[in-house]
Structure 1
Amino acid sequence: MAARSRNACENHGKEEVKTTALAAQETSSLSPIKALTQRVSSWTKLVRVVAYALRYIQNTKAIKSATLANGKMLTFEEIHAARVLCLQEAQKCFMEDRKLLTENKPLHSRSQLVKLSPIICKDGLLRVGGRLDNSQLPAYVKHPILLPKSNRITRMILEHEHTTNLHPGVSTIFVIVRQKYWIFGACNLIRNLVHNCIKCFRQRKLTHQFMADLPGIRITEALPFQHSGCDYAGPFILNERRGCNPRKTKGYICLFVCLVTSAIHLELATDLSTDTFLACFWRFMSL
């Protein structure tokens, strides 16, 4: 009994130690616009949501004044400011190049913006430089906005242009997009977009155009040049005489094609007048 009481006193004197296990989970901090791109499916909706958010921030700052924007419809200035903010978010991958341009330092030789002579406009967007400042083209055509290849906003812009212009082909979308944006690897992105578009896939099957039947004179046996076609080729530069500094004039080739055998006959024409053609025609008929 004495031993038990002694052990109990010793255990009572020791402090009770409790261990607590903590699990720490690292979360990636995304910007509000980048997080919004994961929840919004279209470029138009993204711009409008950001515009309403900017209006709310503006009203919160100006709540003491009477200049509150409580209209139901978004103004052009609000939509433009939201669009610029979204494009600035897409250009965050060019932060190092932007810093060098702000400090008036040359870009690195390995930068993908070196050959484009980028500039920073008043709206804070990186645009293509170039030598078209004296042209009469609109400013957004002379200096398109630079956008990266692997960005959700770039993909949304391409989808918007593809849907707005009624699902055209790859070349048409490329020309339309290039008037406003300079997207790296745009051809591959557009080709992938058109390939995965369900409406374009259905239209490829329905809009297949069959060639019309060949005319009867093309598939009926006949003598050479009994049925013929005529066309011109050129112009070609001709020397009127030999020697130093000869006088040069334009010349053309009058081409006669047999519609049955595809044989050709060539005549030289000095111009495109009616008299010259009749002379070529009579030479062709005299053979």
Structure 2
Amino acid sequence: MICEKFWITKLRPTVRKVAKACRLCQIRHARPITPKMADLPEGRLAFRQKPFTHTGVDYFGPMEVTVGRRREKRWAALFTCLTTRAVHMEIASSLSADSMIMALRRYMARRGQPDTLYSDHGTNFAVAAAELARAHLEI
């Protein structure tokens, strides 16, 4: 209405400046921030390789199982092929490194030795990696 009768110089930049400083306008027109994603590991981009050449491993559980008359906790080691997304599961009796190594041995007996094995930095995985590295040096 004012603009019909009067010409206000530099009104548009002033309105933009006020709208930019307005907290309600900032919230209303906010855009979500896209997170920075890391590059995919080489195993995810592998081409024409046999399954489980590049593998990821993680634990899930515990699950209660009945052994005789008592109930015990068991975990499962989930081995995932990074190329084909195929899944292999092995039962682990505990979260210890020995249990992890035994699950890994059963997995490798069935699927073969992977070129790369990715895992999170859980205690059982870190200790198992250290034990396997020490055993490899002894050979």
Do they fold alike, i.e. is TM over 0.5? Answer: yes
For residue 286 of structure 1, give the secondary structure of its aligned residue in structure 2: helix
RMSD: 2.0
Q: Report the equivalent of 1:259.
A: 82
For residue 248 of structure 1, give the secondary structure of its aligned residue in structure 2: strand
Map residues 1-287 of structure 1 onto 2, 5 A cutoff. Answer: 197-204=24-31, 207-221=33-47, 222-241=49-68, 246-287=69-110
Higher relative contact order (CA 8 A, sep 6+): 2
Deviation at 1:204, TM superposition (A): 1.4
Deviation at 1:254, TM superposition (A): 0.7
Amino acid at match of 2:52: F
Measure, in 2, the Cα distance between the counterparts of 1:216 and 1:229. Answer: 12
String of CA shifts for 1:28-50, please: whole Å, max 9, x gaps. Answer: xxxxxxxxxxxxxxxxxxxxxxx
Of Structure 1 and Structure 2, the greater helix share is in 1
Deviation at 1:277, TM superposition (A): 0.8
Q: Report the equivalent of 1:192.
A: none
User: Which ranges of structure 1 fall in alignment gaps of 5 or more residues?
Assistant: 1-195
Of Structure 1 and Structure 2, the greater strand share is in 2
Deviation at 1:231, TM superposition (A): 0.3
Q: How many residues are paired up?
A: 87
Amino acid at match of 2:74: G
Pair 204,259 (structure 1): closer, same or farther in 2 beyond 3 Å: same
Measure, in 2, the Cα distance between the counterparts of 1:284 and 1:236. Answer: 20
For residue 200 of structure 1, give the secondary structure of its aligned residue in structure 2: helix
Report which of the two structures shows the higher radius of gyration computed on alpha carbons: 1
For residue 31 of structure 2, give the secondary structure of its aligned residue in structure 1: helix
User: Which ranges of structure 2 fall in alignment gaps of 5 or more residues?
Assistant: 1-22, 111-139
For residue 106 of structure 2, give the secondary structure of its aligned residue in structure 1: helix
Q: Report the equivalent of 2:129.
A: none
Measure, in 1, the Cα distance between the counterparts of 2:24 and 2:40. Answer: 35
Q: What is the TM-score of this pair, normalised by structure 1? A: 0.28
Q: Report the equivalent of 2:7.
A: none
For residue 94 of structure 2, give the secondary structure of its aligned residue in structure 1: coil
Amino acid at match of 1:275: D
Pair 283,250 (structure 1): closer, same or farther in 2 beyond 3 Å: same
For residue 198 of structure 1, give the secondary structure of its aligned residue in structure 2: helix
